[in-house]
Structure 1
Amino acid sequence: MGRRAYARFQKRHESVKSMFRVAQAAVIAGLILTAPATLLPVSAQSAARESAAKTEPLTIVTKAGAKRFDVEVMRDDAGRSRGLMFRRHMAADHGMLFDFERTEPVTMWMKNTYLPLDMVFIRPDGVVSRIAADTEPLSTAIIASGSPVSAVLELNAGTAAKLGIQAGDKVEHPLFKAR
């Protein structure tokens, strides 16, 4: 190969290397720019699921009167396992009702749960058995029902004290009429 041919070869080689670097930079930039977009649908789905979750009415009858809540009902293992994990807020008149399908002692925890909660343990006849007030967010400490129950209602922390909800009060929901 002569000097001119070699010079042309080197020039083409440098041109190809330069194009490769530009293409490589474009691919990397594309990955960086689209990474947040690929994560967005997951968080958007999560937010949409949270705000569009189907709720049912539930009433707690206390000595001071009745208080109505809109509750999401968790009826399967997946729902009960997920619960209120990763949620950052819950409306004051909302809650989550965990249906355990049978009557037995149950345990709860606050792993991956950012909201402090009141946990209302409910017997199959709808009577409040016990309240674990103001549970600690993100804690893996076990919170036990203390006696056999068929459901647990989670409310924003402080709700039970504010409304005077206590053991012996009655929870009205179709779940307790079916048992």
Structure 2
Amino acid sequence: MQLHLKCILIATLYTAGCHENTGNSNNNTAETSSAVDNVQTETTSNGSAFKKEGTLAFIAKNGADTLRKIDIQLAKTDQQREDGLMFRKSMTDDQGMLFIFPDLEERSFWMKNTYISLDIIYINDKMEIVSIQKYATPLSEQGLPSFKKAQYVLEVNAGFSDKYHISYGDKIQYE
């Protein structure tokens, strides 16, 4: 699909979502239900609120040390992966979003409609970190490729990888 058609489609979907009447008189929050997985998600003035769906641990290359643990929200469906962290204005250092894909491929993410600067961590099917795109520029439409095949992608706050010494070859485990 051509880029301008994608932009029109995204704008239409966004506009439809903005005009949805939830019946909630509080302008700061509204609850919406996802038809795909029947999960309640809270929407705030900062975009979708974080919804803890699991925990993830970073394991050092040598396998002996746990470098850091965080809470994760999962993006398993096409729609969840497409939405990602768009329109969120903040996220804590102990939170992240794990994108789960059905196959192992080279991936590329962008920051369109994403207000938070992120580290984008690409992970292969063996749960090993294969590349990291650090300090991704908010709202940028520049592609941020994995350069290697990845089945999982983890988005965390920018600087997370440096702060907690997360690097290529480290592994993850999640529940």
TM-score after normalising by structure 2: 0.72
The gaps in structure 2 that reach 5 residues or longer are 1-21, 31-42
Q: Which structure has the larger Rg?
A: 1
**2 CA distance for matches of 1:43 and 1:59?**
33
Q: Which protein has the bigger helix share?
A: 1
Q: Does 1:71 align with 2:72?
A: yes
Change (3 A) 1:103 1:43: farther
**2 CA distance for matches of 1:85 and 1:116?**
11
User: What is the 5 A alignment of 1:119-134?
Assistant: 119-134=120-135
Change (3 A) 1:59 1:142: same
Partner letter of residue 99 of structure 1?
I
User: What is the 5 A alignment of 1:60-99?
Assistant: 60-62=58-60, 65-99=66-100
**2 CA distance for matches of 1:123 and 1:40?**
45
**2 CA distance for matches of 1:173 and 1:150?**
14
Q: CA RMSD in A?
A: 2.4
Work out whether residues 62 and 164 of structure 1, in 8 Å CA contact, stay in contact via their aligned partners in 2. Answer: no
The one-character-per-residue Cα deviations of 1:11-62 (angstroms, maximum 9, x if unpaired) are: xxxxxxxxxxxxxxxxxxxxxxxxxx98966752212983362320100012
Shift of 1:86: 0.3
TM-score after normalising by structure 1: 0.70
**2 CA distance for matches of 1:152 and 1:43?**
30
For residue 151 of structure 1, give the secondary structure of its aligned residue in structure 2.
Answer: strand
Aligned to 2:3: none
Equivalences, count: 138
Partner letter of residue 61 of structure 1?
I
**2 CA distance for matches of 1:123 and 1:41?**
43
Shift of 1:66: 2.6
